[in-house]
Structure 1
Amino acid sequence: MRDPLDYPWAFDALTAGYVIETGFTAGQPTTADRTGRSYVVAVGSNASPDVMRDKFARYGAPVPFPMEGCTLTGVQVGHGAFVSAGGYIPAAPYASPGTIAHLWGAWLTERQVAALDTTEPNYDRMTLPAADWALTLDRGEAPARFGLYRSRHGMLRTGSGGPAPLAEQRTLLASITALGAPIPDDGQLAVSADLRSWLRSHRISDGLTTAVSVRA
């Protein structure tokens, strides 16, 4: 059982490679291993090979699958304005014109994408043209399109009004406590109606529905 306070569990040194049943094998994904798969960008714990392996095991989707990094223009990562079933305030993307973010993603089969969708009830998966968002893989190539999960609940805003930047959960909770968030003493965020209400009152749009791509 992962500690919610350690979310997103993906801040370890990441490298390109393959998620396999027994762990992770470093190595550059080959063209053959990417063929017939979709590149899905991760903004939170889906960048963790362990998290992804556990999700697919739970929903009967097979491994292995390749993972590798990318740069993406016009999108940044903050926190959705909701508490996940796991008891943490999760990551979510938002429009940030001109910003260049380095993120990680997985090459997934249709079955794996369907399984991942099932694990993300608080998100909608968008399929976006890679060229419109200047997505480039770390090795210099780019897929035709990519998947990106956006929050159904908007973004958590800071005291200044902008989206709260992605942070480790302990840091985030300390910052929103200072803003008056009613964090329960027992740490059980998922069952706190007061916290859910506070988050709803401190949400803003992610801007992705009206975002302008870098080619527009």
Structure 2
Amino acid sequence: MSCSSTLPVSTLPVSTLPASTSPTPSVPDAPEDYPWTGQAVRSALLLSTGIADLDPDGGVDAPAEQQDRPLVDVAAIEAGLAADGAAPLAERTLVVAVGSNQTPETIARKYARSGHDLHPATPFVRCTIHDLAVGHCAHISARGYIPAAPYRAQGERMELVATWFDDEQLAVVDETEPNYERIHLEQESFPVTLATGERPRHVDVYASVWGVLAHEHPIPLRHRQQEIFDELVALTGSELVRGDAAEICARLEAAPDALQTLVREHSLVAEDGLPRG
């Protein structure tokens, strides 16, 4: 699933941001540094003029569901979208991201690379979700890194980012996720509270079609590829994942099925436990 950009971050109120041409995404980050997000999440609005920060001044010190009042103003998002000539929230699909899709920079790059003439305006809102955790897909990405993947984890609570895509944007993002299928998570089974204070009836999420890496239990997402490669060396002893992360990513990129074969041979794959159909 990609961050860091030269896109400007606006300090103006969202509703006053002027429309402009589509922003130019930065060069993709090094695959060995995936998932590029760090450990923090943020609310933001990607517009044709750049990225507007939606988090309150001073940052956020508690999960979205524990706030006394909404952290993000829905009316401001709607005003920003309208001012940019983009589709309103009612015409968008809400998708919870678990990897680099949490960042506006990644999504801007995906839009730019798609070759489609689509409007870039996209809201990103932090959220609290229960009974879901994030691990690793049991397959590499095209660039050789091991991407993030969600799995059911009863009793877990995570702070992630939910993104509203219009139909054209969603079709583009779907195309960029060949190792995943987009599925529904219902509020009854996976309670979600957005930073807007809303509790949507359901959200979508990209779930791995290959299962997730596991050793007795799914392995939680490591924030650097070197960490997960070193862990796999300890579990398999394989030279395939031994050494410097950049070299391993290049090695895996050249042999796309090698990682999947390795982890299956060592029984390091589990189902994600998420609902299909």
CA distance in 2, matches of 1:110, 1:38: 8
Give the drift of 1:183.
1.6
Aligned match for 2:136, one of 79, 87, 100:
79
Query: How does 1:20-169 map onto structure 2 within 5 Å?
Result: 20-27=47-54, 28=72, 30-31=74-75, 32=78, 33-59=88-114, 60=116, 61-158=118-215, 161-168=216-223, 169=225
Aligned match for 2:241, one of 183, 190, 207:
183
For the 8 Å contact 2:131–2:152, the answer to whether it is kept is yes
Extract unaligned runs of 5+ from structure 2: 1-27, 55-71, 79-87
Q: CA RMSD in A?
A: 1.9
Who wins on radius of gyration, i.e. which is larger?
2
Aligned match for 1:9, one of 32, 36, 41:
36
* CA distance 1:7–1:22, change in 2 (3 Å): farther
Q: How big is each residue's C-alpha offset from its partner over 1:171-196, in whole Å with a ceiling of 9 and x where there is no partner?
A: 11111122224226632222234433
CA distance in 2, matches of 1:162, 1:78: 10
Q: Scaled by the length of structure 1, what TM-score is found?
A: 0.88
Moved more, 129-138 or 143-152: 129-138
CA distance in 2, matches of 1:170, 1:99: 25
CA distance in 2, matches of 1:208, 1:13: 25
Q: How many residues align?
A: 208
Counterpart amino acid of 1:204? A
CA distance in 2, matches of 1:105, 1:203: 27
Aligned match for 1:172, one of 222, 225, 228:
228
CA distance in 2, matches of 1:88, 1:139: 33
Q: Is 1:205 aligned with 2:260?
A: no
Give the drift of 1:109.
0.5
Give the drift of 1:12.
6.3
Q: How big is each residue's C-alpha offset from its partner over 1:96-134, in whole Å with a ceiling of 9 and x where there is no partner?
A: 111111111211111111111100000000022234311
For the 8 Å contact 1:45–1:51, the answer to whether it is kept is yes
Which has more strand, going by share of residues?
1
Counterpart amino acid of 1:152? V
For the 8 Å contact 1:29–1:67, the answer to whether it is kept is no
Give the drift of 1:167.
0.7
Aligned-pair identity in percent equals 35
Q: How big is each residue's C-alpha offset from its partner over 1:65-121, in whole Å with a ceiling of 9 and x where there is no partner?
A: 110011111111000111110210010000111111111121111111111110000
For the 8 Å contact 2:184–2:205, the answer to whether it is kept is yes
Q: Scaled by the length of structure 2, what TM-score is found?
A: 0.70
